[in-house]
Structure 1
Amino acid sequence: MDGREVIGPQPGPPKRERADAARNREKVLKAAARLFRDKGVDAVSMDAIAAEAGVGKGTLFRRFGDKSGLAVALLDSRESELQAAILSGPPPLGPGAPAPDRLAAFAEAYLGYLFDHLDLVRMSETASPGARYRIGAYRFWHRHVAILLAEARPGADADVLAHVLLAALAAEAAGVMREEYGEARVRAAVATVIDALARP
């Protein structure tokens, strides 16, 4: 990634969301979360979400685009919690621990988030070719992992290694591995990869 996709701050004050738009957004997110939980992500249509939320289909599509846009919005608060723990939480997930320990803590925390929301994360990552790499959260995870790998392995190509490590945490792959081998074996395998990368 060359960073050209990142959009800088725009001049002028940020636009405030209209009160009715904010209410509609909240209704849609609650309806989508309820339907996804009760029926499964694949079984729920955008029409069903609009009907459950009591909004027009046009409102839904303009605001979120498709189900993957809804997934990203639903995941946002959990991602923000994990990001805050990485930036300012206690070690080893937060600052203050050696890089290999922080990488191991990140992978463990990320797998917990991933397996708790697997269908939503999978949808957000696979909605279109390359969707995973356009999500802002992925850029955050990549930068964090690259910084820690650069510290753990001076001279290594940390940017590429970060993508290699994060490939093991992709929702599609993690879901298949969990189904075939169980969650404990997936976590153990990821820990082995981190040891190999970060504790040479």
Structure 2
Amino acid sequence: MPERPLLGIGAPLPGTSEPTERADAARNRQLLLDAAHLLVREHGVDALTMDELAKRAGVGKGTVFRRFGSRSGLMRALLDHSERKYQAAFMFGPPPLGPGAPPVQRLVAFGRARLLDIEVEGELHRAAEISEAGDRYTGAPYNLLKAHVSMLLREAGAVGELPLLADTVLAVLDAPLVMYQMRVLGYDREQIGDNWAAFVERIAGPRSPVE
């Protein structure tokens, strides 16, 4: 039986119109979230209002409120949307981020991909008022990342308590820290990415040559 895609829609129910409605609703929701992501990337999180999203997506404001309930609900949905796309990339996408590359190469690609939208992620966490503790470290999104990093560290032959080591590795990519490094210390994304690569290689060993 083929594996169900991470973002897949449920199988149609024979003899009903519900599947089409569900598929349309899911597709429209994804279009709204893609438009919201672009707004945040282009103009910052403060520009993401229900009015602006409705205008960008070409729908009525009531549609946006029905989908997300409030601006805070929209922020949370957008965080979840971004997280799922990222998860799909490292679980099922092409190497080196996805399967098929040596583990250290995959760890390096994991960090560089995470940095691409780090400002969006950090601003969304702030706007959605998600705490630094509590659910952030016990919830499914963080623990999926941690399990993935732990697996790659194990495959690379890293030494130590892997759960603790995975937490330490992920802390280097923490959005508030990276945003401080960029906005206050003046480092650019490439410098931070290079530092991530060097850090990973010190912990897990040098990258295997590309075959």
2:115 corresponds in structure 1 to: 115
Give 1:133-152 correspondences, 5 Å limit.
133=137, 136-151=140-155, 152=157
Poorly superposed stretches of 4+, deviation over 6 Å? none
Partner Cα distance (2:106, 2:95) in 1: 12
Higher relative contact order (CA 8 A, sep 6+): 2
Shift of the alpha carbon at 1:167? 0.3
Shift of the alpha carbon at 1:80? 1.1
Q: Which runs of 5+ in 1 are unaligned?
A: 1-12
1:21 to 19, 25, 39: 25
Are 1:70 and 2:78 an aligned pair?
Answer: yes
Percent identity over paired residues: 27
Are 1:46 and 2:50 an aligned pair?
Answer: yes
1:58 corresponds in structure 2 to: 65
Give 1:92-107 correspondences, 5 Å limit.
94-95=99-100, 97=102, 102-103=103-104, 105-107=105-107
Question: What letter corresponds to residue 79 of structure 1 in structure 2?
Answer: Q
Shift of the alpha carbon at 1:166? 0.4
1:82 to 90, 97, 118: 90
Question: What letter corresponds to residue 73 of structure 1 in structure 2?
Answer: H
Count of aligned pairs: 179
Residue deviations 1:13-41, cap 9 Å, x none? 99956255235414422431343244222
Tell whether the 8 Å contact from 2:39 to 2:48 is kept in structure 1 after alignment: yes
Are 1:182 and 2:188 an aligned pair?
Answer: yes
1:153 is paired with a residue whose SS is coil
Tell whether the 8 Å contact from 1:75 to 1:121 is kept in structure 2 after alignment: no
2:158 corresponds in structure 1 to: 153
- TM-score, scaled to structure 2: 0.65
Residue deviations 1:106-163, cap 9 Å, x none? 3432333233222332245453114643564432221122123334135x21011100
